[in-house]
A = this chain, B = another copy of it.
Amino acid sequence: MPSKRTTLASIAQALEISVSTVSKALSDSSEIGAATKKRVLEYAKANNYTPNSFASSFRKGTTSTIGLIIPNILNPFYAKVLVGVETYLDDNGYKLITSISNDLIEKETKNISVMSSGFVDGLIICISKEAEQKSEYQHIKTLIDNGTPIVMFDRICDELECDKVITDDFQAAFDATEFLITNRNCKHIVITAKTNNLHHLNLRRKGFEAAMNKHSATVKCTVITDERSKGLKQKLGELLKEDSSIDGVFGLNEKSVLHAILLTNKLQKEDNAISIAGFCNDMQSKYDASLIVINQNAKEIGVTCAKLLLDRIKSKDNTSFHTKTIAVNL
């Protein structure tokens, strides 16, 4: 193991030329003669020189690194967004620093400040539930004021001036609900809704309600609410046992859908007795053709975020922010 890394200086010393010559030779500058270039390149290879890109970044004032802050990586929606972000960044020579906020403002704030203290050229963020519920955006505002380019996705905030990428939650929920009604002939649909007052969950619920209103003549609905997922699951289980007229379930989020799948399986009814629709990115959903899954195109969301951010960084423009809506499909 070589005790010391090869650097420009060590190459220069060994070859008795100057550091700047070495630097230029390695970057194949036209200023340097072919003979010198060859000498330098050979020496560099022989001593397996790897440029210290950290130093280079420091010098240039950019890091080619992007920060991603998400609430939870076990939710496949966020995992897929990460895949999209990582893919696009990697293709463009950028690195990715990831932080999981666990939906806590404190951790979010801490990591934002660490990253933005010179480590990243820009930030992609889905704010924590806590921040959204308390409308606490000061930590994000500070970031923007500081000049760090950011892109928000999924959970966004109108008062923040930056690029944003969202799903058309209302339309998606409307479409899926209508599909339950018109294609699966559902007559009694249950919706499971957490009472956590998240903006995009409310939109989904409104989409569902709009569809129900449109078809109110033929379809009935029952709303289950609870502030916790477990509570929702339990109530749904009881309801399914009691009321055999239920022939559809609409899940507003990942967990609701998974719970619905499990509970209806347990009932051991004849095939397709109960149709399930909802927002779900779990692998499981891909294998179960009977499900009506709202495909949020999470990976595409990630790619779009990354693209918006890199474009913003390259243009150095900080006006006219875009909000892109990623289409969904069933």
Q: Which of B55, B83, B90, B107 contacts A90 (CB 8 A)?
A: B107
Q: Does A231 contact B (CB under 8 A)?
A: no
How far is B179's CA from A151's CA once the two chains are assembled, in angstroms? Answer: 50
A83 vs chain B, min Cβ distance (A): 6
A58 interface neighbour in B2, B5, B54, Cβ under 8 Å:
B54
Restricting to A267-294, which residues have a CB under 8 Å from any CB of B? Answer: 268, 270-271, 282-284, 287-288
CB-CB contacts below 8 Å: A27-80 with B: 48, 50-55, 57-58, 63, 65, 73-74, 76, 79-80
CB distance from A312 to the nearest CB of B (A): 14
Q: Judge whether A329 is part of the interface by a CB distance below 8 angstroms.
A: no
A147 and B74 CA atoms in complex are apart in Å by 33
Q: A interface, by DSSP: helix, strand, loop or mixed?
A: helix
Chain A residues with a Cβ closer than 8 Å to the other chain, count? 61
A114 at the interface (CB under 8 A from B): yes
Distance, CA A65 to CA B288, complexed state (A): 40
Among candidates B259, B261, B268, residue contacting A271 with C-beta atoms closer than 8 Å: B268
**Interface membership of A239, Cβ < 8 A:** no
Return the contact of A96 from the options B86, B97, B270, B287 (Cβ within 8 A): B97
Binding site for B on A (CB under 8 A): 1-2, 5, 48, 50-55, 57-58, 63, 65, 73-74, 76, 79-80, 82-83, 86-87, 90, 95-100, 107, 110-111, 113-119, 142, 145-147, 233, 254-255, 258-259, 261-262, 265, 268, 270-271, 282-284, 287-288, 318
